[in-house]
Amino acid sequence: MKSTLLSLAALSLTPLHAAEARDQVSPPLAAEYRFNFDLPAGPQFTEAEKQVQREKAAQVVPMVRKAFDAGDESVAIPPGDYRFGRGSWDKDGPVYALDFRGLKREAAKPFRIVAQGVTFWFELPPDQAPSAHFALGFVNCSQVSLEGATLDRDPRGCMEGRITQLDEAGNRIEIEATKGTLTPTSFNGKQEERLIPLNADGTLCAALYALQLRGPARLAFRGVEPGTLSGRYWVQLAEKSELLSTNRDPAWIRAYGDAGTLQVGDGLCLLHTTTTAIGVIHCTGMKFIGVRNHITKGGLREFGGGGGHLWKDCYFGPRPGTCHWQGSDGFLSGGMERGSTLDGCTMLHTTDDLINFNGLWGYIEKVSGRTITLHRDSEMPAHPGDRLQFYDAQTGAPLGSAVVESAKHSELTLDRDATPLAHAVAENPRWQNNGWEVRDCDFRDCYQRFLIQGSHGGTLRNCRFTRIGSGIVLASNFFTRNEGGICHGIRILDNFFEDVAIHPDGVALEAGFQSLNHAASTPLLSDLTVQGNRFINSGRRAIEFSLVSGGSITGNTFKNSGKPRALSGKASPQEDSQPVQLKQCGDILVKDNSP
């Protein structure tokens, strides 16, 4: 299928099936997608035009609902610009600014919303994170597709700019704000006020992600003040910021050069607001084809329901041809019966997790006979007939399983005595985003990780990862009150990793389990396959497994793995210089990998 929007072909990418393709560095973006501080801010509208767009927007839901209720196969939204306000909350959760609910069809007769040439604009206030907004939503829907729509926000909702001065003594950086930027006026002093450093050509300064790992304050700001000229602003760094001191460290400069340090002419992006750009809540079998999302820090959120959604030839990033750098806030997908497929999608400049596939923990608050009560923050779905797995909350030791006989809110009645489960964590394998697939996708210049938590079966195949701050992480831990689960049967096949987790502590692909009791040594992750991948310029190591039982690491190639070892000024121990390391693992086949 030829994409109507940005596709892998538009990015001049070659298929990854050929071995020679994996030996090449990532090809450049097509000219229309390259970054420049001096590009225009994007479409501008008069107040009269905006009012017409608001009036047109009010007709969208009734138009779609009328066609759906009539049994039509599709509805076509006329091309043009449509302007919506902000979402809200009710007793059942968020209400989206453009809100579709209850559009349920059978798989044999799906419903198409065709929106070619359509842009949905959202007028969202510049609230400080963690306050959130909700743009386009599908709630309790099934077998519905959205095709060709573009999402954007006005006003922009973030601040970005070109660096004009680096003032280490004053712990501040002056920037010249780009066109259409938003100047934040209030600050809560928390980790939401992070900085994303970027190079003059728009590439992520990925090495500086190391500061995030030392604590969010190490790469954060605390205020914005007028600068030396009109349109310039001083960004006051957090008191604990190590950005400027790291930036002039001779060892750091030797290790990373211009691509890993900031100079005058490079850029900063200031995180401020956050938005769910597209919410897919308690839905089944949805399709998003050729959809573009330009909403600043506007992520995609899937939660609950049968899942099994398809995202085909979609683009998540800044509006091409503009001076905007910051793109969406990544892809968060949790608690569905079946995971989604991302096919031929492109993500640029995400400023939180690139992708997060997760199941949900059920933390047990109390037990009585055969009844367990889950903590109020637990969102783990549980239905009669579901078989739950239980683990000791301190060590991760398996405590067996039980079938749910009845479920009422957070109270679950089991088919066994619950007394031994008083200090346990529950997992429901049925609702762990099982069977997701990400294939033939291009991910570039993104801040954080591709996180996989709890899925039972999932495949990452034939994708490119270029300049990602963190790496691919298969994680299971008991540190969160919600996201979690135990990963099984994950396959990482024929992907290309370039400058991924390049910082001193970085691992391009890691898998492991952590418990509250650090002395615990229970291998829980299992059946992990890493095959045919190419790693270029990974950080401390390319692949690291910890507490994994069963799997294989075969046919992978490595180039320049462990580059940041030069930072120490000393030779590292031999065991720490290998591209692959296993810690407390068992039955892992490591074969035919080449440095």
Alpha-helix runs per DSSP H in 228-309: 243-247, 250-256
pLDDT level of residue 394 (50, 70, 90 thresholds) = confident
Q: Six-digit token pair at 478?
A: 């008991």
Section 178-198 average pLDDT: 79
Domain 358-431 has CATH 2.40.30.270: yes
**Model confidence over 515-571: pLDDT tens digits?**
766 666 678 899 999 999 999 999 999 999 999 999 999 999 999 987 655 565 444
pLDDT level of residue 22 (50, 70, 90 thresholds) = very low
**In terms of Cα–Cα distance, which of 478, 581, 575, 583 is closest to 521?**
583
Tell me the pairing of strands 411-414 and 346-348: unpaired
pLDDT of residue 339: 97
pLDDT of residue 481: 65
Position with higher pLDDT, 231 vs 125 = 231
Query: Under a CB-based contact definition with an 8 Å cutoff, are residues 583 and 545 in contact?
Result: yes
Say whether pLDDT at 584 is over 50: yes
Nearest-angstrom CA–CA distance, 496 and 535: 6
pLDDT of residue 434: 96
Nearest-angstrom CA–CA distance, 431 and 485: 10
**Model confidence over 93-106: pLDDT tens digits?**
899 999 999 999 99
Say whether pLDDT at 136 is over 70: yes
Residues 6+ apart with CB under 8 A from 405: 370, 384, 413, 414, 415
Q: How far is CA 243 from CA 34, 166, 205, 267, 362, in A?
A: 26, 10, 12, 13, 39
Assigned fold of 47-156+273-352: Pectate Lyase C-like (2.160.20)
Nearest-angstrom CA–CA distance, 470 and 451: 10
pLDDT level of residue 15 (50, 70, 90 thresholds) = very low
Q: Which residues pair with 100 in a beta bridge?
A: 138
pLDDT of residue 430: 94
The pTM (predicted TM-score) of the whole model is: 0.93
pLDDT level of residue 271 (50, 70, 90 thresholds) = confident
Taking residue 468's Cβ as centre, other Cβ atoms within 10 Å add up to 28
pLDDT level of residue 205 (50, 70, 90 thresholds) = very high
Lowest mean pLDDT segment, chosen from 213-222, 338-347, 385-394, 504-513: 213-222
**Model confidence over 304-333: pLDDT tens digits?**
999 999 999 999 999 999 999 998 889 999
Q: Where are the domains of the chain?
A: 47-156+273-352, 159-270, 358-431, 444-591
SS3 of residue 55 by DSSP: helix
Single-letter amino acid code for the residue at 456:
H
